[in-house]
A and B are shown apart, each in its own frame.
Chain A
């Protein structure tokens, strides 16, 4: 199961909150988060790492696509 969350334009803590609500629903799987600034990127990554999800980040123009994965 895969979900893409677009948190571009949202100010902290919303990107993290929305991401948390999405991954709390899933015991495992892949969640993709689209962010548009470094602060949100760092915060989402920190949350995911704390919750033991694997994190990969790809830069997309001015945005970042963060892929969170748990098996």
Chain B
């Protein structure tokens, strides 16, 4: 167990280091390894949304899936499973992404932003913690998305093999997909650097089960600090890294790809935190589990991508100028839907509503 704790610390630390380096090599500010931002750029790269500044097939994501897939195969941990409320997971992923784009970052980037001195992220982290805390209240009362069952093996290969094909296309420099000529989508590290960073992280997050939501959740639920170590290592290494390369700038104003609207920074992350806690993990963990053959998590990823496309097509996503009114409404509607799902999926209420009552042995 001690070795595992070191492993999760190394994973978090290396993630912090690579994030700083990826920004140094060209990725947008404080966005070294933001899963939400990358999935959003991929939704643009595939043409699901037409905002010309956020389109790029981020090779980090395909590298990460590939790395996690091969190490899971090697360790005999790859197994095709599914059937645990896929449409609910899609919806939660969709809504979580809206919250993340109102804040401008996933649970990983919130830490990276704080490590870069962006105090708006401090507000975001508070929202995230409150969001996870709310999710836990439902988990403690028996919220469950139900059991997954074993599926024919082919189910477990579609998601990772698609990623491997996209990885090969990225490395070969084939020009098929949309790519921004200006804005955040045009800012990226050289493909090979992104791919290597992705592969390394894929292996490490698969082995350590690294998860940002899990770090907060397990500490609140069980006083278990295992995943929190990764969270802290990420924060400290990214902080020291930013200081070293001169990317640290303390304050609320003028932070890279961030806005200063505290209320919506808080609520956006609260929404992402609650939805992710109900999903069982942050987008990074969903990616890893999907690479291991979990088709429910693959559906959650598709939900995240769809949510990103929707948020950008219909002007819900924030920008450094602030959160549009439509985005504010979307956050409130998202909160209402997540609470409804949480109540309907909770064992204590489910018998009343005739809803989900699996996952428990009574």
Contacts and interface: CB of A to CB of B under 8 A. Distances in A.
Interface of A: 5-6, 8-14, 16-18, 20, 37-39, 42-43, 45-47, 49-50, 62
A49 B1 contact: yes
B348 interface: no
Contact of A46 (B75, B79, B224, B280): B224
Most A Cβ at <10 Å: residue of B77, B150, B226, B359? B359
Contact of B218 (A13, A39, A45, A62): A13
Nearest to B82: A9
A38 B75 CA distance: 10
B138 to A, nearest CB: 11
B214 A13 contact: yes
Given A11-B294, A13-B217, A46-B226, 12 more contacts: A8-B147, A9-B147, A11-B297, A13-B139, A13-B218, A17-B221, A20-B222, A37-B77, A38-B75, A42-B4, A42-B209, A62-B79
Contacts of B224: 46-47, 50
Given A17-B221, A46-B224, A47-B224, A9 B148 contact: yes
29 contacts: A5-B361, A8-B147, A9-B81, A9-B149, A10-B84, A11-B148, A11-B280, A11-B289, A11-B297, A12-B209, A12-B214, A13-B214, A13-B218, A14-B144, A14-B280, A14-B359, A16-B218, A17-B140, A18-B361, A37-B77, A38-B77, A39-B209, A42-B4, A42-B209, A45-B1, A46-B1, A46-B226, A47-B224, A50-B222
Nearest to B1: A46
Nearest to A4: B361
B145 interface: yes
B360 interface: yes
Interface string B119-160: 000000000000000000001100011011110000000000
Contacts of B296: 11
B106 to A, nearest CB: 18
A20 B220 CA distance: 14
A9 B298 CA distance: 16
Interface in B188-234: 209, 214, 217-218, 221-224, 226
A6 B138 CA distance: 21
